Structure 1
Amino acid sequence: MPGYNPSELGCGIVHIGIGNFHRAHQAVYVDEILRQSGGDWRITAVSLRNPDMRDRMQSQNCLYTLCERTADRENLRVVGAVAKVLVAPENPTAVIDALAAKSTSVVTVTVTEKGYCLKPGGRELDLSHPEIVHDVLHPAAPKTLVGFLLAACRLRRDRGLPGFNLLSCDNLSDNGALLRDCLLSAARLQDSSLVSWIAQEVGFCSTMVDCMVPATSDDIAENIQSHAGYRDTACLLSENFRQWVIEDNFVAPTPDWRSAGASVVADVAPYERMKLRLLNGSHSALAFLGALRGYTYIYEAATDRQIRWFVMALMRREMLSTLEALPDIDLEQYCTTLLDRFSNPSVPYTCQQVASDSSQKLPQRILEPIAERSRRGEQSPLLTGVVAAWLGYLFLGTFSAQRFELRDPAAQPLVEMLQRQKHQKNFPTLDQMRALLTHAGIVPATLLRGEPFLGMVQDRLARLIEGGVERLIGGLQGEELLQAL
């Protein structure tokens, strides 16, 4: 149980994007702080889209059970950190008021890559995005993260209140600075006088977060009822590992994050790159290859001998060279630990779940390290294999008997292009690869101009279409053997 009386503690944090990840990660850190030392640090949570989470939590006073599992152990923890859940479309004013409240000094964010409304493949706010256009024109009734933050900053300024600490917890490199740039970009169009206030008063803190939180199934609630004797409509599952690295850029009061096990550092960037490339990049590789191999779950892919070889080689031979050493982390051991975590059958991420929205994930996870290695004159046979696996996932998942549900905003135009190309002679050709990857809108121009990159992707996609994952990875293992000779 929480170990404190939640009703006796006030709210000092607003969280935007109340999903399972937040409830298994940031909310648990806050819960631990409240358990140890109390304080008015409970969370007012916000759903930007629908009332589902509010409806599931409200009937049980926002308490919920987190089931943490290893391969052979289970721990049930009731979390009391969330005080209430607001649904933005129902009452945007209530959300703005919570963000602008005098008691709010910390705002955390988990809205995924899509929630930042960025230009495809870039790090700039898409000012032509329909919802951003709406928020610029209708500042009192926003729809997006950027719109709500702007409205709150304006209200705080007008009330003479100081700003808050804004912690981005999404899988984007330099996410705090990215969120700052998005906010300032929209402010220049909507209320230019607000720009300097935001720059001076808001503490944009980049963070790196890590915890595997798969989709919740009915058996979790049934298991809790069987073992603990109560029904929980808002329970969830996670692994028993979590990590949070926070940039010390605070301008307002903040909880003692270190007391709950978080790291507070001067520069989060090297930790972000480590996680984005080693964890998230290899997760994407497992998702594509696992699905194409016929597996449902990530742990099945991670225990497949051939795929496991590919992912370990990907991390150690190509990813590690793009990362700097960290004083408190053994990167080689980190790679081994990652594959062990991915292999945990008690945390059943599906391959299709991890593969969703890949067009918005691959630039940071895969394409940036390829571009870095290319600038140093290094080829990336394994990383380009992941790009080919993504295209193969779109192609074979649409035109073969496997039929994946492609949950990706960029999937449809690429699938239509693949549909037109697949009947052409000698598909895939180099020119077809250039056209396809240019059309994707996420590949750096320097790579599109380079035939070595395009040729590698073409070769690997052809192998995949012809002989599946076994042919793709087997060819890469053969290349490695030849190089060793």
Structure 2
Amino acid sequence: MTTYTLNQENLNAISERVSTPKYNRTQLTTGIVHIGIGGFHRAHEAFYTDQLLHDTSITNWAICGVALLPHDTKIYQTLKAQDGLYTLMVKEFDGSLSKRVIGAITELLFAPEDPSKVIEKIASPEVKIVTLTITEGGYNYNEATGAFDDKNPSILYDIAHPTQPKTVFGYLTQALKLRQQKGLKGITIQSCDNIQGNGDMTKQMLLSYVKLADPALIPWIEQRVAFPNSMVDRITPATTAADIEQLKTEEGIVDAWPVVCEPFKQWVIEDQFSNGRPLWEVVGAQFVKDVEPYEKMKLSLLNAGHSVLGILGALVGYTTIDEAVNDKNIHAFLEHYLKQEVVPTLSDLENVDLEAYIASLLQRFGNVSIKDQIDRICSESSAKFPIFILPTVKANLKLSRQTELAAFVVAAWAIYSLGTNEKDEHLNIKDALKDTLHKQAELASQNHPEYFLEIESVFGNLKTSKPFVDAYVKAYKTITKEGVIIAVQNINLSQINSI
């Protein structure tokens, strides 16, 4: 089989093997600048936009992808060499594989190489939306207090060197200032990250930065920049060498960084845009007045479910999410947690069958074709737990409801943070607070489990809740003594008996 390197020149030949863009990419203009061109963006927003360009005659919503950080060099160079093209590999529930080349990203910029190009691009008249996937940690806030971290060295650097920024806030501030100076219309800044109230968070953090860096700009932003909240969903595991090889073997396509994802996708967006928007609803997005109930459902069920499977699975020695959820004991534990502790905290969900939604989640988690890596799911847990799990804990404590299952998961995380699983194998912990987590986990292991809850930036004042601490300490001791599987078997029995 003849092999073709994925790029614009080879697109016609590749189109004989897999689906490729039918629109003329050279006739598109950039209406969106996206910061953070990782796998999720390319499986989600770029996919929706590609489908829109394919299904309509619209030409003004192509995407300029921005690689923001120095460690984004590889993805930038890869996509640049491929003219922004990549293959989306959808792993269906029946084990089949659907492949299509996505062409919505028509420009690429590497911010550390030339910051001014990024600033000028966002400030160009044709750009109407800036979208973000910068992960939970990219918003520079204290998880416990919600306050902007104005002591971050990168933030201080950006304030001192405004034309050579390093953070997303430095870039946005300079670009918005330039738009103001040019007399241009406002712009929409849309977060696509898994943060409840992600638009509100983006606005709060940006204005906090601007207050320090250029306070005179605040009125212009408040009057002309929109920050719609959104809820996004599509499981997108890290691409593996096996995925790259499979694409080459089966289709003869040499793609250095394809994207793997599940068939399910969801995008719920507040219809609040300052300068026009794509008709994403034509290709399945949902525009609503209030996205909060939907995002809360997703964060506390899907994202929390992922973390539960990741932490418990990692301790047992599993390496992928499907292995963890297909363990009948962990599966039952997760189902109990979602139905008995999370569902009671959810409300205002019109036309949503939560039983069916949970059943679909368990099916998606169990997709054996996805092979979502557990160490990816567990990465940056110190940023994820305060968003995905602890709000459920606080809501239940406020109404004196049970938190036993969430406490069990936190206890498992404390043990996980020691750095080895139950097979005495090393755990690859990737977390901005890795050293702090390990230190407190070590102290907890010395017959003081509650010391792990002393990490105030993660847990806030949770250590003052006697019901939670008691449940946590009990779970910690049980897991340490019996191991995860025996412990979840026992807790599952207790949950069944309590129904």
With over 3 angstroms needed to count, the CA separation of the structure-2 counterparts of 1:329 and 1:483, relative to structure 1, is closer
Tell me how far apart the structure 2 counterparts of residues 396 and 15 of structure 1 sit (CA, whole Å): 35
With over 3 angstroms needed to count, the CA separation of the structure-2 counterparts of 1:316 and 1:399, relative to structure 1, is closer
With over 3 angstroms needed to count, the CA separation of the structure-2 counterparts of 1:402 and 1:80, relative to structure 1, is same
1:173 corresponds in structure 2 to 196
- SS at the partner of 1:83? strand
Q: Alpha-carbon deviations, 1:99-127, whole Å to 9, x = none?
A: 11111001110000111111243422101
With over 3 angstroms needed to count, the CA separation of the structure-2 counterparts of 1:54 and 1:481, relative to structure 1, is closer
C-alpha contact 1:396 1:465 (8 A) present in aligned 2: no
Asked if 1:441 corresponds to 2:448, the answer is no
TM-superposed CA distance for 1:317, in Å, is 0.9
Q: Alpha-carbon deviations, 1:76-108, whole Å to 9, x = none?
A: 111000012211111110110111111100111
Given the two structures, how large is their TM-score scaled by the length of structure 2?
0.93
Asked if 1:35 corresponds to 2:54, the answer is yes
2:498 corresponds in structure 1 to 483
1:451 corresponds in structure 2 to 466
Bigger drift between 17-26 and 402-411 goes to 402-411
Tell me how far apart the structure 1 counterparts of residues 148 and 312 of structure 2 sit (CA, whole Å): 32
- Give, as a single letter, the amino acid of the residue that structure 2 aligns with 1:57: L
Tell me how far apart the structure 1 counterparts of residues 130 and 178 of structure 2 sit (CA, whole Å): 15
Aligned partner (choices 23, 32, 37) of residue 13 of structure 1:
32
Tell me how far apart the structure 2 counterparts of residues 441 and 399 of structure 1 sit (CA, whole Å): 28
Q: Alpha-carbon deviations, 1:1-35, whole Å to 9, x = none?
A: 11111111111100000101101110000001111
Q: Alpha-carbon deviations, 1:33-64, whole Å to 9, x = none?
A: 11111321110010111321121112221111
TM-superposed CA distance for 1:144, in Å, is 0.7
2:437 corresponds in structure 1 to 414
Given the two structures, how large is their TM-score scaled by the length of structure 1?
0.95
- Give, as a single letter, the amino acid of the residue that structure 2 aligns with 1:417: Q
TM-superposed CA distance for 1:381, in Å, is 1.0
TM-superposed CA distance for 1:286, in Å, is 0.2
Tell me how far apart the structure 2 counterparts of residues 398 and 477 of structure 1 sit (CA, whole Å): 22
With over 3 angstroms needed to count, the CA separation of the structure-2 counterparts of 1:422 and 1:218, relative to structure 1, is closer
TM-superposed CA distance for 1:405, in Å, is 1.3
1:390 corresponds in structure 2 to 413
Aligned partner (choices 227, 230, 249) of residue 207 of structure 1:
230
With over 3 angstroms needed to count, the CA separation of the structure-2 counterparts of 1:396 and 1:56, relative to structure 1, is closer
With over 3 angstroms needed to count, the CA separation of the structure-2 counterparts of 1:280 and 1:481, relative to structure 1, is closer
Aligned partner (choices 17, 42, 59) of residue 81 of structure 2:
59
Asked if 1:322 corresponds to 2:342, the answer is no
1:465 corresponds in structure 2 to 480
C-alpha contact 2:27 2:59 (8 A) present in aligned 1: no
Tell me how far apart the structure 1 counterparts of residues 362 and 466 of structure 2 sit (CA, whole Å): 33
Tell me how far apart the structure 1 counterparts of residues 302 and 210 of structure 2 sit (CA, whole Å): 34
Aligned partner (choices 68, 81, 91) of residue 114 of structure 2:
91
C-alpha contact 1:285 1:389 (8 A) present in aligned 2: no
2:270 corresponds in structure 1 to 247
C-alpha contact 1:58 1:85 (8 A) present in aligned 2: yes
- SS at the partner of 1:442? helix
- Give, as a single letter, the amino acid of the residue that structure 2 aligns with 1:477: N
Matches within 5 A, 1:58-137: 58-71=80-93, 72-137=95-160
With over 3 angstroms needed to count, the CA separation of the structure-2 counterparts of 1:278 and 1:82, relative to structure 1, is same
Question: How many pairs does the alignment contain?
Answer: 476
2:6 corresponds in structure 1 to none
1:47 corresponds in structure 2 to 67
Q: CA RMSD in A?
A: 1.5
With over 3 angstroms needed to count, the CA separation of the structure-2 counterparts of 1:30 and 1:291, relative to structure 1, is same
Bigger drift between 269-278 and 55-64 goes to 55-64
Which runs of 5 or more structure 2 residues have no equivalent in the other structure?
1-19
TM-superposed CA distance for 1:359, in Å, is 0.6
Tell me how far apart the structure 2 counterparts of residues 373 and 85 of structure 1 sit (CA, whole Å): 46
With over 3 angstroms needed to count, the CA separation of the structure-2 counterparts of 1:339 and 1:398, relative to structure 1, is closer
- Give, as a single letter, the amino acid of the residue that structure 2 aligns with 1:89: P
C-alpha contact 1:306 1:473 (8 A) present in aligned 2: yes
Tell me how far apart the structure 2 counterparts of residues 19 and 480 of structure 1 sit (CA, whole Å): 40
Percent same amino acid at aligned positions?
36
With over 3 angstroms needed to count, the CA separation of the structure-2 counterparts of 1:335 and 1:398, relative to structure 1, is closer
With over 3 angstroms needed to count, the CA separation of the structure-2 counterparts of 1:481 and 1:251, relative to structure 1, is closer
Tell me how far apart the structure 2 counterparts of residues 328 and 79 of structure 1 sit (CA, whole Å): 32
